[in-house]
A = this chain, B = another copy of it.
Amino acid sequence: MTSTAVPPQTLTRLPVYARVLDDLVRRGVVTASSVELAAAAGVESAQLRRDLSHLGSYGKRGVGYDVAELRAQLRGALGVGRRRGVVVVGVGNLGRAVASYAGLVPRGFEVVALVDVDPQVVGTTVAGVEVGDLADLPRLVAEREVSLAVLTVPGAAAQDALDAVAASGVRSVLSFAPRALTVPDGVALRSVDVAAELQILSYYLPPV
């Protein structure tokens, strides 16, 4: 399978399907219909069948999908089992939460470097990793084989952090900064914006 086979919108749903399959394997379930899988994933079954067809998985009429086989295909597509090095940029509460987050390792990620600009924080140890100086980022990225960065810096520092990360050779970045960033050429950026998520939720609430 080439890396262009899966449309971006489908790609965002694959981790959800992988999680559902993990659950089923844990519970000893051997086969599952598209309707059952879709319900557990919170999507329409036609959507799920279309998404999985991009992986070459079609299920059998009247039987459904082989849970173990489908899980293996999803894990292969998502690179689970490989190990990706992650640098966390910004070691405040959020950076500490990401660095300490036990859910990364089972899905193939390891926080191998932490950096900050605060001299009070540089040199301390968080989740077993010594915090380095942001200025050392290029060396840390090379030595520790970092392939992804998580930006947990204040909004005002986010563009500089993104530029520094890109200059150090990291090409995949997840930002928690609540602002639009100018993305350097060749870099893939995804953003998590907590206030935006709350705004979307509150649209459905009665007016206050």
Q: State in angstroms the CA–CA spacing of A203 and B192 once bound together.
A: 18
- Report 15 cross-chain contacts, Cβ distance below 8 Å, ordered by A residue: A3-B203, A12-B200, A15-B196, A15-B200, A20-B180, A79-B203, A79-B207, A83-B208, A84-B208, A94-B94, A103-B155, A107-B199, A109-B202, A172-B198, A172-B204
Contact flags A140-179 to B (C-beta < 8 A → 1, else 0): 0000000110101011000000000000000111100011
> Inside 8 A of A174's CB, which chain B residues have their CB?
194, 197-198, 201
Is A193 at the interface (CB under 8 A from chain B)? yes
User: A77: which of B102, B180, B203 is its contact (CB, 8 Å)?
Assistant: B203
Residues of A bordering B, CB below 8 Å:
3, 6, 11-12, 14-16, 18-20, 23, 40-42, 77-80, 82-84, 86, 92-94, 96-98, 100-104, 107-109, 147-148, 150, 152, 154-155, 171-174, 178-180, 188, 190, 192-205, 207-208
15 further contact pairs, Cβ within 8 A, besides A14-B203, A19-B178, A109-B195: A12-B200, A15-B199, A18-B199, A19-B179, A23-B179, A78-B199, A79-B207, A82-B208, A84-B208, A86-B198, A92-B97, A101-B194, A147-B205, A173-B201, A174-B201
> Inside 8 A of A86's CB, which chain B residues have their CB?
198
Q: Is the interface of A mostly helix, strand, loop or mixed?
A: mixed
User: A97: which of B42, B97, B204, B208 is its contact (CB, 8 Å)?
Assistant: B97
Task: Please indicate which of the listed interface residues A84, A178, A188, A201 has the most CB atoms of chain B within 10 Å of its own CB.
Answer: A201
